[in-house]
Amino acid sequence: MDNALIFSDGEAVSAESAGDVFGAVIDHAADDKARVVLTRDGKPVAAIVPIEDYEALEAIEDAYDAKLASEAIAAWEAAGRPPGIPMADVARELGIDLDTL
């Protein structure tokens, strides 16, 4: 099948009939904690996952983003940068008149 829903156990459902089984796919992900891969032309393009998997991924991304931000701030401060730049200075440098906003 070129366009298919592939259940974690290998069962595939054509994308054309996905509408007929979408409720079952959601139930499979929610109740059985299964990950369902959607394919197009035989290639994985998306997934339906249990909400716990999604929340875990979001938490990992948030932690990674926070780590990158902390590292960037630390590097900026280590380079002798001031802890901040007044908005008026930035606006003046960019030619923005804050009084007209």
* Tens digit of each residue's pLDDT (9 = 90 or more) over 17-62: 667 678 888 888 899 998 988 877 777 888 889 999 999 999 999 9
- Using DSSP bridges, classify how beta strands 43-48 and 12-14 pair: parallel, antiparallel or unpaired: unpaired
Q: Nearest to residue 72, comparing CAs of 60, 81, 62?
A: 81
Question: Quick one: 15 and 41 in the same domain?
Answer: yes
pLDDT at 66 > cutoff 70: yes
In this prediction, residues 11-19 reach a mean pLDDT of 62
Look at the chain and report how many structural domains it folds into: 2
Q: Starting at the edge strand that comes first in sequence, how are the strands of the sheet with 4-6 ordered?
A: 12-14, 4-6, 36-40, 43-48
Helix (H) or strand (E) holding 41: none
Q: Could you tell me the residue range of the domain that residue 25 belongs to?
A: 4-49
The reported pTM is: 0.60
40 and 64 in a common domain: no
